[in-house]
Copies of this chain bind each other. A is one copy, B any other.
Amino acid sequence: MGDFGVFFGRADQLLDTAFEGEPELRVVEPRDASVSVFDLGLLRGDGVFEATTVVDDVPLAWHLHLRRLAQSAAALDLPAPNLRVLDAFVREAIRRMGPTPHAHVKLVITRGVDASLSAVSLPVVPTVFALVDPGFGRRAPEIEIVTLERELFRDSAERAPWLLLGAKTLSYATNMAARREYERRGAQNAVFVTRDGYVLEGPQSSVVIREGNRVATPHPRIGILHGTTQVELFAWAALNGLEISYEDIPTERLFAADAVWTMGASFVQSVTAVDGRAVAHDLAATDAINGFMQSQRAAIDAWTSSHLPG
């Protein structure tokens, strides 16, 4: 296992849509890499992030992540990121790691130091950094999940945009609490459901079901992240002649489906039980999807670029 890489960027380049040059990177020793205690990313979870798997130096589906990052930044009233320059920033960070067969990269943008704390006299600009983790572990192909109530309705995101339901923010304390909860229940993942009985997403993953010749996932307008790996799975499905659909999915359909998958970071896991009840599953198909995601990047990128999520 190699060392982590930590790379800081400049907000006046990465968050200035008029910037036309190449981004500067500041490489920092992982042990010394830090942010101010006055950073609102720390004090308020006030920031956004994206993360993906790196295979042979390539951050997978990175165009989808950047697209979502821009949407998250808009939801939080952060400056609009310069996606071309951010893309170059992350690819250069990976390049500086040397040959990287398999890793994980995370890009973080915080609101920066609290502007109301003038006495600190630190610059009040967003903090931007990338972390590259070369020791990224394999996940199990088959898992059991539980449903966890999220106490929202399927129209909550529309009614209350200040809840930031579709934004990928640094405020993940409840996601982490949900993770501890499903572990306590002996499961390997959870799926949040609404109070009116619809499927949302996992604390750190998306959900897709297959019913016959058709794969379906909850529509992002229900108040979830638009999963990048879910879009990649839709590429596999479309290229294999399956019908694809974004729709509201009642929780009961998890139990009746021909397959239930959770997914993230370009890896799909086959669900074998929901709330302790066995569900139909298909490890061979799951392996095929994961093989496709690892080997057919050009096909995936072409399909996902021409079928950009809403």
Contact = CB atoms under 8 A, between A and B. Distances in A.
A184 to B, nearest CB: 9
A288 interface: no
Contacts of A134: 119
Interface string A120-150: 1110000001010111000000000000111
Nearest to A51: B43
Count of chain copies: 2
Interface in A16-46: 30-31, 33-46
A21 B175 CA distance: 36
A156 interface: yes
A170 B167 CA distance: 17
B173 A173 contact: no
A71 to B, nearest CB: 14
Instruction: Give the interface residue-count category, chain A.
Output: 35 or more
A172 interface: yes
Given A173-B164, A174-B163, A133 B153 contact: no
Given A41-B42, A151-B160, A172-B46, A119 B131 contact: no
Given A34-B34, A36-B33, A164-B173, A153 B195 contact: yes
Closest 9 CB pairs of A and B: A45-B45, A171-B171, A34-B34, A171-B173, A151-B156, A44-B172, A45-B171, A169-B173, A162-B177
